[in-house]
Amino acid sequence: MDIIELQNLRLRARIGFSPHEREGWQDVVINMRLGSELRLAGESDDPADALNYKPISKAVIQLVKSRRFALVEKLAEQVACLAILGFGAPYAEVNVQKPGALRHADSVGIRIVRRPADYARNIAYISLGSNIAPERNLRAAVALLRSGTTVLASSPVYRTPPQGDIQQPAFLNMAVKAHTLRSPLEFKRRVLDRIERKLQRQRDPHNVNAPRTIDLDIALWNDEIIEYGSKPWRIPDTEITRYAHVAVPLADLAPAYAHPMTGETLRKIADRLDASGLQKLNIDLEAELDSDFRS
């Protein structure tokens, strides 16, 4: 296996769990060794045959800038997962150093090695909605998703009219693509349900369309058709083919994804639904995530 090396990527990160670390930015140094197949590029001398490492570097920089980490282990794991699941690297060795973290030591850090087999390739697409302090609660939900799993991508946010009970504020809806090692039931109980409890989701048994601080649903899971739990819950979510506020954000994430039951792409499903009431908003969830969640 050939190796591409990205050496001494020097960044400023919000990392650490002690009070003085959480309030400021600290230096981190990231080194990566990524498996690749370089023989074709070596033969052709054609850039199209080579792995373009610039977008990998940019993705790592964005990852570090936009999130807060308690542990270097979490940062290293996220970088490795990004390289393997986001860019298809067959091998990733990641070294993260915190210069000056200990007296009498130049640096403290960790090194991890990951391969695709280390990640059960469970890719979950989650639909999110809120109409009670919706911007704040969407930011908080995305922050909590990032702390409990590996978020790979997020859709734009849409303002959408309420369904069923129309005498309530408009909703903000979006979707997130995440990687998880959990089963659907574990993911719902250990990640989604915990987030809903933390954000004080209240359910009205007499009005399933009542206002809510946050609503989190597994819309798609790999390319599988699943029933799980005692309800049972169903994947794919039946609302994908019925409501634009569900289909459109998912289509933004994965337009060519084929619905496991109908065979239609998400883009085709979204295009045939009435989306006249949807308004795309320019809300940068990641930029204000931490300060808004702490307040």
The domain segmentation of the chain, as residue ranges, is: 2-118, 122-294
Q: Provide, rounded to the nearest whole percent, the portion of the chain with pLDDT above 70.
A: 94
Q: What is the pLDDT of residue 116?
A: 85
Burial of residue 192, with CB atoms counted within 10 A of its CB: 0-12 exposed, 13-18 middle, 19 or more buried = buried
Tokens 């373009």 sit at which residue? Answer: 52
Give yes or no for residue 194 having a pLDDT over 60: yes
Q: Which amino acid is located at 220 in the chain?
A: L
Q: For residue range 138-170, what is the model confidence (pLDDT) as tens digits?
A: 999 999 998 888 888 999 999 999 887 778 899
Regarding the domain delimited by 122-294, which CATH topology (the fold level of the hierarchy) does it fall under? Alpha-Beta Plaits (3.30.70)
Give yes or no for residue 54 having a pLDDT over 50: yes
pLDDT, averaged across the chain: 88
Taking phi first (over 0 means left), then psi (-120 to 50 degrees means alpha), and beta for anything else, what does residue 110 get? beta
Whether 195 contacts 144, CB under 8 Å:
yes
Q: Which of 58, 65, 74, 98 is catalytic?
A: 98
H-helix or E-strand containing 59? helix 53-66
Q: For residue range 210-255, what is the model confidence (pLDDT) as tens digits?
A: 788 999 999 999 999 999 888 889 999 999 999 999 999 999 999 9
Is residue 98 part of the annotated active site? The answer reads yes
What Cα–Cα distance (Å) separates residue 57 from each residue in 8, 74, 83, 87, 91? 11, 18, 10, 11, 16
Regarding the domain delimited by 2-118, which CATH topology (the fold level of the hierarchy) does it fall under? GTP Cyclohydrolase I, domain 2 (3.30.1130)
Q: What is the pLDDT of residue 207?
A: 73
Q: For residue range 8-27, what is the model confidence (pLDDT) as tens digits?
A: 999 998 888 776 666 678 89
Sheet holding 2-15, edge to edge: 68-69, 2-15, 26-36, 92-99, 107-114
